Amino acid sequence: MLISGPKSPGKCLNVFMRPLIDELKVLWETGFRTWDRYGEEYFTMKAAVMWTISDFPGLGMLGGIQTKGYKACPICLDDTDAKFSNGRMSYMGAPPQTRTTILVYKEIVSHRYPRLSLIKEKKSSHGINESKLCWTYKSIFWELPYWKKSRVRHALDVMHIEKNVCDNILGTILGFDGKSKDDLKARKTLEDMKIRKHLWPKKPRGTSGKPTLPYANYTVKPQFRLEVLDQIAAVQYPSGYAGSLKNKVNINDKKFYGLKTHNCHVLLQRVLPVVIRPYVANHVADAICDLSRFFQMLCARELKKSDVEQMQKDIILILCKLEAIFPPAFFTIMVHLCIHLPEQVFLTGPVHYTWMFPIERYVHTTYNDN
């Protein structure tokens, strides 16, 4: 389905999805007479949508769910544990018990949605949506007769989650301007929370001048950042395994440019834990290695039930370790979603059936054909 125009349809997506949903209902209830070439006979074929696959903003449009603000988690819903401080949201703490699909459906049915022309989001003084519910509109997918019984309706995309987590780690550890989650606002949040006093901003003695930020042991010292980038750029991969990062590293600016999702996939799982170990504190390197191992297990081609159960326990401890290291601003919604990935794997199987790598490759092929 191609939607013309410079912007996405947003809350009007149901209008464009109507023909597809009508066909899906017929395909499930009536079926389609199909020829079986092997059995040489006709049969009635029926089909259902297992789940949708999209990036996180797309998930919000397809499901009518908030993807930012206090209730941005599509799994925790209204029980999302979020805090706002110094212009940023942080999602920390243990997740609540997952709601059943029947409870979610009852909540959606009981909620009264205003007409699109009358929707005016209530915002607090700091501009964050504080609506009582996390639903923006009733998705047209709920018209499918089997949708309210589905355990996974809109799959979390591991590809984009992994990229965002990698960007957070790289930007914070290497101190990239505009990418780091460890800046003046993050340090002021620590001061407001009255924790980690050694990291609070130091005010200058005079009346003018910017506050200075004390060194944090989870960052690479400025004199070693170029050395870290050189090591990452020098890594050689087996043929066909991954693309070289040499062209992605700008030595003069001491930054990465144009990192793709697969670059971050390889960086987080294979390269970063080894390269940064000599330059950060041991407990920081251990926590990042544990996170890297978690994604390695999550992205395995074959998974055992015992492995997934262990991942569910491990990710809780890993996030606890990271919360004790990084400032709250580090914990964006994409970092929070990691805790829900093992449960999704239980229901959908290996992540290769729910991530967007095949879709991205297909789109790239389409562009090349044109």
Are 282 and 337 in the same domain? yes
Sign of CA pseudo-dihedral 201, 203, 208, 209: negative
Please give the residue range of the domain that contains residue 265.
Answer: 158-182+218-369
Closest CA to 322 of 284, 289, 369, 361: 284
Are 64 and 111 in the same domain? yes
The answer to whether the beta carbons of residues 249 and 232 sit under 8 Å apart is yes
pTM: 0.88
Q: Residue 119 and residue 139: Cα distance in Å, rounded? A: 16
Which token pair is 186?
């993050």
Residue with tokens 């030595």: 251
Give a yes or no: residue 141 inside a domain.
yes
Are 98 and 242 in the same domain? no
How many percent of the chain have pLDDT more than 70? 87
Give a yes or no: residue 188 inside a domain.
no
Amino acid at the residue 34:
T
Q: Residue 354 and residue 352: Cα distance in Å, rounded? A: 6
Are 168 and 303 in the same domain? yes
For residue 104, the SS3 value is helix
Give a yes or no: residue 245 inside a domain.
yes
* pLDDT, tens digit, 9 for 90 and up, residues 324-348: 999 999 999 999 999 999 999 999 9
Q: Residue 33 and residue 44: Cα distance in Å, rounded? A: 5
Are 118 and 169 in the same domain? no
How many percent of the chain have pLDDT more than 90? 61
pLDDT higher than threshold 70 for residue 102: no
pLDDT higher than threshold 50 for residue 16: yes
Q: Which of 120, 138, 155 is the last residue of a domain?
A: 155
Are 143 and 227 in the same domain? no
Domain count, the chain: 2
Give a yes or no: residue 190 inside a domain.
no
Q: Where are the beta strands (DSSP E) in 60-163?
A: 82-85, 88-91, 154-155
The answer to whether the beta carbons of residues 78 and 129 sit under 8 Å apart is no
Q: Which of 155, 170, 201 is the last residue of a domain?
A: 155
User: Other CB atoms closer than 10 Å to residue 267's CB: what's the count?
Assistant: 26
Give a yes or no: residue 198 inside a domain.
no
* Residue 174, phi then psi, degrees to nearest 5: -95, 0
Are 22 and 106 in the same domain? yes
Are 282 and 304 in the same domain? yes
Closest CA to 182 of 165, 164, 194, 170: 170
Q: Which of 108, 136, 155 is the last residue of a domain?
A: 155
Give a yes or no: residue 19 inside a domain.
yes
Are 164 and 81 in the same domain? no
Give a yes or no: residue 191 inside a domain.
no
Which token pair is 235?
């890594």
Are 233 and 151 in the same domain? no
- What's the pLDDT score for residue 32? 93
N-to-C CA span, the chain: 17
Mean pLDDT, all residues of the chain: 87
The answer to whether the beta carbons of residues 77 and 101 sit under 8 Å apart is no
What average pLDDT does this structure show over 292-301?
96
Spatial CB neighbours of 270, under 8 Å, sequence gap ≥ 6: 292
Are 268 and 343 in the same domain? yes
Which token pair is 311?
């991942």
Which token pair is 60?
């919000």
Give a yes or no: residue 236 inside a domain.
yes
Are 227 and 336 in the same domain? yes
Task: List Cα–Cα distances, 212 to 199, 205, 209, in angstroms.
Answer: 10, 11, 9
Q: Residue 36 and residue 31: Cα distance in Å, rounded? A: 14
* pLDDT, tens digit, 9 for 90 and up, residues 196-228: 999 999 988 766 778 899 999 999 999 999 999
